[in-house]
Amino acid sequence: MKIFKKVINASCSGIAIGVILSVIFSSIFGQGEYTPSTPTFMELFTTPVRAMLSSIILWALMGNVFYFSKLIFTQERWSLLKMSLLHYLVTLICFFPLAYLAGWFPHNILWIAGFLLIYTGIYLIIYLGNYLSTWLEIKKINRKIK
């Protein structure tokens, strides 16, 4: 039952982030209309409700990818480098097909390469932010110990 709660929580987080991002992108590119994804994605469905339902499912799966992939960092015998590289690869390999299905970029090699660069850049920014935050917290704890 505990795993079910985690799946639900991860799904809800993914859906919430997906809805927020879709509202932001709709307000920038939607010309006054809300769409859960790109026009190409929307054309795949007979109704906007079906497109939204599909988007919700994809966002929930994305939430689960990121929630459960963090378990990699619980491996005490692995180096930080090993955990970080494995986490990057697992999230990329699992997230890429979902983003592809969600129609977040045209299906050609240049856009795929662009997506990979953007994903890697965002990953590095988040990773370095977490690393710096942890490093500062350790310094603070060490000062208290001395």
Query: Using one digit for the tens of pLDDT, what is the confidence trace for 60-89?
Result: 999 999 999 999 999 999 998 999 999 999
58/97 Cα distance (integer angstroms): 10
| C-beta of residue 86 within 8 angstroms of C-beta of residue 67 | no
Q: In the chain, which residue ranges form alpha helices assigned H by DSSP?
A: 2-29, 39-42, 48-69, 80-101, 109-145
Q: What is the pLDDT of residues 13-53, one digit of tens each?
A: 999 999 999 999 999 888 888 988 888 899 999 999 999 99
DSSP output for 133-145: HHHHHHHHHHHHH
- Kindly state the tokens that stand for 109: 């090699």
pLDDT number for residue 58 = 97
Question: 12 vs 29, which has greater pLDDT?
Answer: 12
62/81 Cα distance (integer angstroms): 24
Nearest to 66 by CA among 136, 104, 13, 4: 13
